Amino acid sequence: MNHELTLTDDIASELYSALDALKIWRIEDTLKALRRASGLAGQRKKLAEKEGLNAQANACWIANQYIETWRNYARCWQNLIEDSSDEVWASLQSGRVRIDNLDRLTGANDSRIGWLQKQLRYLDAAFGYNVFMSPEYEVIVAKCSICNQDVRSLDCTHIKGHLYAGEMAYTIIEECSVKSVSLVGNPANRMAVAKIANVAYQYPVLKRIRQELCSPLQSLKVLTPAKLVFGVSGNPGRNSPCPCGSLKKLKYCCLGEWYTTSALFEVTFEAVMTPSFFCTVPM
């Protein structure tokens, strides 16, 4: 079941105030207005739960998560101004989890959510991280967040990631053991970054964005296109697909040439969005 992102007039007014301040880098004013908006959504959700209005409670949950994602986004810029890269990354990943859930629950057809999702993804790309640590667990006790039953038992009928009376069902791991930790390139959870000890990371792309972006509401695009660099002799199998991507066998294409892949960052600054775009229902 797809849900809609709807904002009541009082919540939309506070969100507009927040984004109007964010547009001109007034981060503290932004966070204050977002706290007020979140408080209003929370009050409406409690009232809906009390009266048994499940659909309305779900709508309030959606609205509040949208507001909380904006808080994560605003904190990204606050921490970036303070040159706190680890805090930027933490706020960024929290925001990405929230916005991805919203995108899934709303059927990926809300342009307001889509803009914020892309903006967070491009900021993620600007860090340049490409190796992460991904643990594998043996789960011993896992409970449902809604009914507190074992998620593997027939007593639990809730589906992970779905909304029930204003709450999203998720799994609570109460007991587990770590079996292994792998180095991966595209993990489900991007929080655990593999870094080289005693190296001061400079984040040049992130710094360029901070210096040249005229507003946090300016649309951003960060791409890392692959470039093939041919050089010394190499020895992939003669009948293997050619590394250049031609879909031909190597012996009929780039035989005798080795390749590496280098990532070149391409940063594009686009239009500045208006606060009203994010506070009204898209047509």
Encode pLDDT of 30-80 as tens digits: 999 999 999 999 999 999 999 999 999 999 999 999 999 999 999 999 999
Residues 6+ apart with CB under 8 A from 197: none
* CA within 13 Å, CB half, 183: 5
Both tokens of 221, joined, read: 């695009």
pTM for this one?
A: 0.85
Is there a contact between 132 and 192 (Cβ–Cβ < 8 Å)?
Answer: yes
| Residue 244 confidence class, pLDDT cut points 50, 70, 90 | low
Domain boundaries, the chain: 9-127, 132-184, 204-270
Q: What's phi and psi for 261, nearest 5 deg?
A: -115, 130
Q: Mind listing the pLDDT tens digit for each residue in 71-107? A: 999 999 999 999 999 999 999 999 999 999 999 999 9
CA distance 16 to 26: 13
Chain CA centroid to CA 265, Å: 20
Of 38, 222, 208, 22, nearest to 119 by C-alpha is 222
> Which amino acid is it at 215?
S
Rounded Cα distance, 185 and 132, in Å: 6
